[in-house]
Structure formats: C-alpha cells, structure tokens
C-alpha cells in the first residue's frame, strides 16, 4: 500500500486490502453533485450495501478537512449529501489546494482512481465516466478522467461514457492512450442512460471471472494504465435512445446559450436532461449505479481468488 501523509484509510478497508480481500472504491461526486438530498445519501448507502451483499468491502472516497479518505463513515456520507454542491467537485488539479487549505472535496472518477490506487484498491464502480465533450475540436474540453485511465492501474466499472459527450472521439482518445474498453455482455458501447450508442467497444467479456483474469494479466505484464469496463444499464431502466438524444441536444443548446463551460458543464447538462425527461433520467442513473456496484463487487471477489 502506498503511504501518503494526507491519506486516511478506514480500518475495515485497510484490513481487507492487507488481507487480499475484495474491496470496491466508490466516488463521492455522485453524492454531492449528482443527486438531490436525501436521495443522494440513501443511494450511496444502498450502493455500499449491494457491494457487501456481493462479498466485497465498500470504500467511498472523498476529501474531508484536507484528508484523502479511502472509506467514509455513514456520518461522513450524510455530511457530503447535506452539503451538496457547497463541496468542491475535486479533480486532479484541485487536490493540492484542498489538502493545503484543509478543505472538503467530492471526488470525480479521476481523484477516486488516484486515492483508490494510493490505498491499494484495484476496482472502482461509478455511474459513467467523463470524456471528450461535443465540440471539443474547438473548446479542447476533454475530461481528466481519460488521462487518469491512461496512467493509473485501476479497473473502472461504469455504464459507458455519459451520453452528453462525443462518444466516438472519447473512444478514439482511449485507444490512443492504450486503455482497453471492455463491454460486459455486449460489443456495443453503452451510453449511460441507454444501452445503445452505435459505437463498438474493443472486446466483449461475459463473466466477472474473465474480467478479473484480464485485469490480473495486465498487472502481471506491468502495464501502467487502467481498464474500462462498460456495463449496460439493465433493460428495464434503459431510456429510449431517441428521447434521450433529443433531451441532450436541447440541454447542450441551453448550456451554450447560458455560457456554461468547464467543470460546470456536466452537472448542468445532467440536471437539464433530468428536467426534460420528467425525472426518468434520475431513476435510470440510480439503477445503473446499483448494477455497476454488483458487477464491480463480483469482479473484485474473482480478482481476490487469483
């Protein structure tokens, strides 16, 4: 386990990592910025329970009082949920400032990967990753998540890239950086709210055991980067491809009209899509996170057996 003077690993998590037991990291941006209170806290606690029910130890990751937390208590999750958007959405560029100031931060995919790796956690479940934004050829708006996937050896289980992004360019960027994109039970890249995107992933993988063996081989080969597992939202909760795309186009037009850019873009677009779909997108968001937590826990258990 990497030692870091700013890192606090929860005793249960430290014990599991030291004993080679399965652990799954969870991000905290989804708590503070992804959903309204109290639904955010209820969802976060339910995700932790799903991981436990599937045989692994959950480690919700956040920055509290300038400390990097690998494993949060129920009270800390409640605090993050109540504070909501008052907590800084913390990417790689924010870490040093937050630690130096003793401030709070909700971790994105990027910072969750970083802190998980510091704590010796190899598997991370999230909703969807960031990527190349539409119009990035002029704005250069590309999520730091992709850069982190290229350099940090953590397996990220998600429901694909958020459908507000340019999915084709996101896949191209990952390919350029040597990040394998695996489709769980599918050859098509899922697009967060919907199972369809029209784009192909690199490989279809059909069992948690196979996912674990591929990640294990990557570590054995000494490959430096991470691995992206795209797990389609369950059919029952998948939104209609056309409906969600219309809502996204409308949300992007609203963001452009209001001059929204940078790290404010994703929360704005997700909130707008939720409004335009009458809340259906929030229900879908919760269900896909549950689904990813299950698969991540099963994969972590398979990895621990190798």
- For the chain, the structural domain boundaries read 7-305
Average pLDDT over residues 126-153: 88
Average pLDDT over residues 197-205: 95
pLDDT given at position 162: 74
pLDDT given at position 240: 82
Determine how many CB atoms are found less than 10 A away from the CB of residue 207: 13
Is the whole-model pTM more than 0.85?
yes
298 vs 209: CA distance, rounded Å? 8
Cα separation values, 97 from 54, 66, 72, 270, Å: 37, 9, 21, 27
Handedness of CA 232, 167, 279, 72 (dihedral sign): positive
Give the residues across from 183 on adjacent strands: 204, 230
Q: Check residues 268 and 276 and name the one with the higher pLDDT.
A: 268
71 vs 197: CA distance, rounded Å? 34
Residue with tokens 């397996």: 155
pLDDT given at position 281: 74
Residue with tokens 């997108």: 281
73 vs 260: CA distance, rounded Å? 34
pLDDT at 253 over 60: yes
Name residues whose C-beta falls within 8 Å of residue 235's C-beta, 6 or more positions apart in sequence. 195
Which structure tokens are listed for 244? 């969600």
Name residues whose C-beta falls within 8 Å of residue 191's C-beta, 6 or more positions apart in sequence. 160, 161, 162, 163, 167, 197, 241, 244
Which structure tokens are listed for 132? 């190349």
pLDDT at 1 over 70: no
Active site amino acids: 27, 162
Query: pLDDT-based confidence at 3, cuts 50/70/90?
Result: low
In this structure, whether the domain defined by 7-305 belongs to CATH 3.40.50.1100 is answered with no
Q: Check residues 135 and 291 and name the one with the higher pLDDT.
A: 291
Rg (C-alpha) for the chain, rounded Å, is 18
31 vs 9: CA distance, rounded Å? 19
253 vs 258: CA distance, rounded Å? 9
Residue with tokens 């919760």: 286
Average pLDDT over residues 278-284: 76
pLDDT given at position 2: 46
- HSE, side-chain direction, 13 A CA sphere, residue 190: 30
Cα separation values, 117 from 2, 181, 225, 261, 288, Å: 8, 19, 11, 30, 24
* Percent of the chain residues topping a pLDDT of 90: 73
Q: 267-304 burial, b if ≥16 CB within 10 A, otherwise e? A: bbbbbbbbebbeebbbebbbbbbbbbbbbbbbbbbbbb
pLDDT at 134 over 60: yes
């Amino acid at each position: 386990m990497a030692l870091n003077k700013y890192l606090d690993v929860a005793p249960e998590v430290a014990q599991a990592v030291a004993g080679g037991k399965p652990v799954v990291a969870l991000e905290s941006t989804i708590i503070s910025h992804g959903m309204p209170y109290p639904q955010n806290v209820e969802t976060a606690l339910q995700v932790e329970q799903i991981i436990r029910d599937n045989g692994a130890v959950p480690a919700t990751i956040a920055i509290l009082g300038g400390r990097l937390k690998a494993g949060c208590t129920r009270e800390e999750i409640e605090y993050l949920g109540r504070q909501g958007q008052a907590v800084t959405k913390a990417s790689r560029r924010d870490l040093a400032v937050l630690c130096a100031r003793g401030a709070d931060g909700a971790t994105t995919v990027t910072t969750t990967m970083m802190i998980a790796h510091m704590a010796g956690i190899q598997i991370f479940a999230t909703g969807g990753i960031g990527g190349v934004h539409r119009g990035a050829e002029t704005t250069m708006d590309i999520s730091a998540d992709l850069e982190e996937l290229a350099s940090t050896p953590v397996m990220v289980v998600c429901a694909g890239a958020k459908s507000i992004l340019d999915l084709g360019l996101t896949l191209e960027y990952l390919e350029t950086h040597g990040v394998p994109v695996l489709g769980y039970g599918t050859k098509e890249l899922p697009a967060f709210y919907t199972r369809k995107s029209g784009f192909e992933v690199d490989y279809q993988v059909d069992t948690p055991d196979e996912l674990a063996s591929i990640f294990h081989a990557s570590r054995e080969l000494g490959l430096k980067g991470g691995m992206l597992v795209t797990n389609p939202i369950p059919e029952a909760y998948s939104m209609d491809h056309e409906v969600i795309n219309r809502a996204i186009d409308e949300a992007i037009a609203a963001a452009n009209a209001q001059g929204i850019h940078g790290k404010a873009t994703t929360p704005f677009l997700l909130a707008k899509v939720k409004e335009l779909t009458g809340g259906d997108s929030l229900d879908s968001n919760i269900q896909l996170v549950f689904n990813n937590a299950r698969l991540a826990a099963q994969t972590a258990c398979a990895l621990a057996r190798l």
